[in-house]
Amino acid sequence: MPTPHRTAVIGGGPGGLYAAALLKRLDPTRHVTLWERDAPTDTFGFGVVLSDETLGGIEHADPAVHDALQPHFTRWDDIHVTHRRTHHTSGGHGFAALGRHRLLKVLQDRCHALGVDLRFRSEAPYPTWLAETHDLVIAADGVHSGTREAYADAFGPRVTPHRCRYIWLATDFPFDAFRFDIAETDHGVLQLHGYPYAPDASTVIVEMREEVWRASGLAELGVQESVDRCAKIFADALEGHPLRVGTSAWTTFRTVVNDRWSHGNVVLLGDAAHTAHFSIGSGTKLAVEDALALAACLQEQPTTADALAAYEAERRPVVASTQRAARASLEWFEDLARYVDQPPRQFAFNLLTRSRRVTHDNLRLRDARFTESVERAFGCPPGTPPMFTPFRLRGLTLRNRVVVSPMDMYSAVDGVPGDFHLAHLGARALGGAGLVMTEMVCVSAHGRITPGCAGLWNGRQTEAWRRITDFAHTHAPGTAIGVQLGHSGRKGSTKLMWEGMDEPLDDGNWPLVAASPLPYRPDSQTPRELTRAQLTDLREEFAAAARRAARAGFDLLELHCAHGYLLSGFLSPLTNRRTDAYGGSLERRLRFPLEVFDAVRAVWPEDRPMTVRISATDWAEGGTTAAESVAVARAFAAHGADAIDVSTGQVVTGERPEFGRSYQTPYADRIRHEAGVPVIAVGAISSWDDVNSLVLAGRADLCALARPHLYDPHWTLHAAAEQGYEGPGAVWPAPYRAGSRPPRTGRTDAPKPRLTLADRPD
């Protein structure tokens, strides 16, 4: 099929140049014109880091570019972290960098050699004209893309500014590693990111929170004067060398996201389409990979429209993953002051694993000695992964850091847990987790979510739960079993999940109560606003259920104040519109949940711990904020909560969660450090490597997993086997010990070939 023969490229950065070169190389008859407003030697920044993966793609697509770049790379393996005059080095990371000028020169030379029409110091014609006169328009015009803004209605751009000021600098001596240096001043914390890019030069980025930049007086100085002051602050890292400025100025990072990357024959590439924070070194990498994918799709697809759709489908998931990692890294540095009091080795490990792309297991492969030193400092016995270290809550010592998260089963009859619950919770108790939690157990029949919800409002239910806790304690000694008490509030009287989640019952409904008379969904029943007398009755229902839970033999009690259920409904300003003493300010919204907590704590055995589950954000405008969740956690801790189980959302139907791996853990991390209370992290934690990483970095004390335990009831024991761990943190039940090693999956003793005879003459 014919390919686009008149191609316009807007922007002469690495992405635009490489796209132009690839398209011309793939089809020499194609006319490719590139416009760049600046001179060929003008650029932002000094060095560029490229991964081996990206270089492999370049080598495959255009060996000439790859060969021209190779002699100019500076390579190194180490990362140095310096904080409070303590230095830690982690090796095995494998970086390659070169000067940005050199990269641009190689790409410009390649474009000239192939016959691309390069027009520097030239403003590109208006995108509409280019789209009408060319078969394809590639907008590689950067974070401030004029093309993107010209078609804003079509692309749907969202540009989010962040909280730090930074500046790209250079120094004329080579670091011997990637450096992260932390400086604490009277005005706040500054950080230096640095790496070598030539035998005699390094890139340096100085970054700090906006308020630190202003309080330190740097905002009032000229650029060079402010940079000279930074050189003095980081004199040790720079070994006394000065810092120099190119075309940069102090700026804030902006995350660019677009709903669509193409419109007609116009397509976005690189920073015009998406940005990722420099702390994971991915801007140029993403742009070059975009160019590779776009060229391949244009070659493979029958039409331009098909090619642009295929390009976006291929690249969007990769970019989204990178942006999630970059956002985690960016926010870690924004909140750097939160971590400066961590023990030095843990601080270094936390920094290295901040994006969640480098993990405990990954770091162990790269540098076992460094990782083992962090584990020793944390208190791991030799050969013990962090997840298998014990943790104490009041009078209860958990043998490991794994929690089977509460998961509603909707399989009780009249609130009574039966054989299904015995098999379900018993299997997970046998599976090795330190703590197994029940589903939300309702304090009254009217407090159920569905007719299938379990309860603790009568003696029959108490005895049924006692059967389950006795099984766990007898057959899985060392495993604790906890109960989560709650009330559905406005989210009750609905169908079983698999019959229609949150849908009202067709018949047999019971009346609902809540903080305010607001239905959960438009088709939901409108609850009655609780009166003072009803609040008193509800407190007693919770306390009575707690007494029954103690008699049933539970080791831990969790109060459910999350996910839009009754107590959560009091906490969120979106669901609490009361005008009495239980509504309005956060202090007033906390009043009833704290009264319930106090009533439960008063009857719950003193030596047994209590935790509280909260939604740390409503993921909706005007809802609970992360800062408020810290205040909520502090309040419960002050009343005697032993840990906070940090979840998010499910409070209102209009929420917009930012899903991703471990996406809720930053909220637990913040509460742990700012409220000073142990936390249970939840939310898309799916691997034992995640658990090890979160615990060792100090972002969580315990990790709760739900779906992984539905997939594999013995998840914890299998995690121990896969890590070669056989200690007290993961004890196999005697009948299962024969299966404590992973089974072989195929023959491993086949003879290996010794000679190659294919080219030998007969």
| Catalytic annotation, residues | 565
For residues 688 and 517, give the distance between their C-alpha atoms in angstroms, rounded to a whole number: 43
For residues 703 and 707, give the distance between their C-alpha atoms in angstroms, rounded to a whole number: 13
Number of alpha helices (DSSP H) and beta strands (DSSP E) in the chain: 26, 29
For residues 648 and 382, give the distance between their C-alpha atoms in angstroms, rounded to a whole number: 36
| 144, 147, 148, 154: CA torsion to nearest 10 | 170
Structure tokens at 148: 């993107």
- Collapsing DSSP states into helix, strand and coil, what is residue 111? helix
- Between the alpha carbon of residue 224 and those of residues 45, 244, 492, 624, the distances in Å are 15, 8, 63, 43
Nearest to residue 492, comparing CAs of 449, 436, 552? 449
Angle value at C-alpha 242, between 241 and 244, nearest 5 degrees: 135
How many residues are there in the chain? Answer: 762
Query: Which of left, alpha, beta for 563 (phi over 0: left; psi -120 to 50: alpha)?
Result: left
Nearest to residue 249, comparing CAs of 60, 488, 44, 533? 44
DSSP code, position 746: S
For residues 573 and 713, give the distance between their C-alpha atoms in angstroms, rounded to a whole number: 38
User: What's CA 504's distance to the chain center, in Å?
Assistant: 34
Nearest to residue 461, comparing CAs of 400, 545, 517? 545
For residues 464 and 444, give the distance between their C-alpha atoms in angstroms, rounded to a whole number: 16
- Between the alpha carbon of residue 77 and those of residues 95, 158, 204, 277, 285, the distances in Å are 6, 36, 18, 21, 18
Residue type for position 736 = Y
End-to-end CA distance of the chain: give it in Å, rounded: 46
Radius of gyration of the chain (CA): 30
For residues 413 and 417, give the distance between their C-alpha atoms in angstroms, rounded to a whole number: 7
Locate all alpha helices (DSSP H) within 268-339, ordered by sequence.
283-300, 304-334
Query: Which of left, alpha, beta for 432 (phi over 0: left; psi -120 to 50: alpha)?
Result: left
